[in-house]
Structure 1
Amino acid sequence: MSRITVIGGTGYAGSAIVTEAAARGHRVTALSRSLPGTPIPNVSYVQSDATNAATLSAAIEGADIVVGALAPRGPLAHIFREVYRTIACLADTEGVPLYVVGGASSLRPAPGADRFVADLSRIPAELHNEIRAGAALILEDFPATPTTLDWVFVSPALRFGARMPGERLGRYRLGDDVAVQSDGGAISAADYALGFVDLIEKGDHHRAHVNLGH
């Protein structure tokens, strides 16, 4: 079993990934600003801020896999990309793969089409900055990392989040940067985590953008 560190391990996607990975017997460390009300058995929780480089370094050191499950809002709104650059550098130094919870805005509706982030006219203006920051990771930041860093950016379906949780169906579809579900459908956190941990265990994707939908 692998030693998996999940940064943002008590958030919507992060907590589901922690739950799925722990259920499969992986040794999971969850780093987040707050501790969960109901801790998951056999998970090590570290309460700290992702902006603390020393804490990040300690959590990543000795891991086999690093998962980034941070959101570009709140305290990270203006430093989100900088924090991920630090995480990427630490993962590269340790020589471990980095799997990142992405957003659907960086996907394409069809091969060769513009990505969803190119037209945010139907999205409330107050969400534009965080959407663009999330998409910038895969459009600019991760492709520019040293080739020694093995990363996988995992986008969910368009409707994904605590306000539209969905139900666990025990299945998912996997695609590349073209949305496998572009009709506004949702994927539950549990099914997203199911696919996410499958990606970790199979290890078939390298420096790649993929997406999960129903």
Structure 2
Amino acid sequence: MARIIVLGGTGYAGRHIVTEAVSRGHAVISISRSAPADPVAGAAYLQGSALDLAPLADAFVGTDAVVSALSPRGDMADRALEALSNVVEQLAGTDTRLGVVGGAGGSLVAPGGPRLFDQGFPEEYKHEAQVGIDSLALLEATDAGLDWFFIHPAEVFGPWAEGERTGHYRDGGDVIVRDAEGKSYISGADFAVAVVDEIEQGNHHRERFTVGY
């Protein structure tokens, strides 16, 4: 059993990760600024912000993995990188793994590039995608002692395309995953399966990977 903190645990990706981790018997703490409208049975909840981790420092002691599922939207639109920097600083000198949920935009469309972001990416999603790209760059610049992984969901991923838990997904390395018909999609539940699998199996160290069907 691992002790896991999920930052943004009441959001779309975060809640799925909390649910999956609890279902596997892990001790899970969800940290978010808002109280959960539908708490996951078996998870612990703390209210707080990654912009000010000092009041939450005790929760991080002895934690095996921290997953940042923070969304760069609303009043966090321009502060998500600051929040991630705070998390990196909090974990400095520890053995805690850091997982970061990114977006599809930074995924490569073919080995060696280019990125999906550079291929006529929708204007309304560019800011969020850029935050994901910058977050990966921030992680890549960290001290080698920090064990992190960065996970790109498929192109179609969100509450508007919920889908079901199948327990299956494909790992595309740094290339976006598409099915035989060219569709890039993953359900929230199966994305969470991939995240918790990575925490348990440790297949990616200081690198990113993509998931989809």
TM range (shorter): over 0.9
Task: Give the CA deviation at 1:56.
Answer: 4.5
Structure-2 residue corresponding to 1:12: 12
Q: How far does the alpha carbon of each residue in 1:120-163 deviate from its partner, in whole angstroms, 9 at most, with x for none?
A: x340x33322211111111x211100000010001111111112
**1:157 is the counterpart of 2:157:** no
Cα 1:126–1:175 change in 2 (3 A) is: closer
User: 5+ unaligned residues in a row in structure 1: which ranges?
Assistant: none
* Ranges in structure 2 where 5+ consecutive residues have no aligned partner: none
SS at match of 1:6: strand
User: The residue matched to 2:15 in structure 1 has which SS?
Assistant: helix
Note if 1:57 corresponds to 2:94.
Answer: no
- Find the aligned partners of 2:56 and 2:87 in 1 and give their Cα distance: 7
Asked if 1:173 is matched to 2:170, the reply is yes
Greater shift in the superposed pair: 51-60 or 20-29: 51-60
Q: How does 1:185-196 map to 2 (within 5 A)?
A: 185-196=184-195
Whether the 8 Å contact between 1:31 and 1:59 is mirrored in structure 2 is no
**One-letter code aligned to 2:15:** S
Bigger mean CA offset, 73-82 vs 58-67: 58-67
Match of 2:205 in 1: 206
Further displaced range: 38-47 or 148-157: 38-47
Query: Which string of whole-angstrom CA distances, capped at 9 and with x for unpartnered residues, describes residues 147-193 of structure 1?
Result: 00010001111111112212222211112101122734321010111
TM-score for the superposition, normalised by structure 2: 0.93
1:35 matched to 2:35? The reply is yes
Q: Percent identity over the alignment? A: 42
Q: Distance in 2 between matches of 1:28 and 1:57?
A: 16
Once the two structures are TM-superposed, the CA of residue 194 in structure 1 deviates from its matched residue by 0.9
- The runs of at least 4 aligned residues of structure 1 exceeding 3 Å deviation read none
Shift of 1:36: 1.9
* Deviation, structure 1 residue 58: 3.3
Check conservation: 2:177, 2:184, Cα contact below 8 A.
no
In the other structure, the counterpart of 1:136 is 134
2:124 aligned partner: 126
Aligned 8 A contact 2:154 2:185 in 1:
yes
RMSD: 1.5
TM-score normalised by L of structure 1: 0.93
Distance 2:124 2:155 in 1: 18
C-alpha deviation, 1:209, in angstroms: 0.6
Asked if 1 retains the 8 angstrom alpha-carbon contact of 2:156 and 2:184, the reply is yes
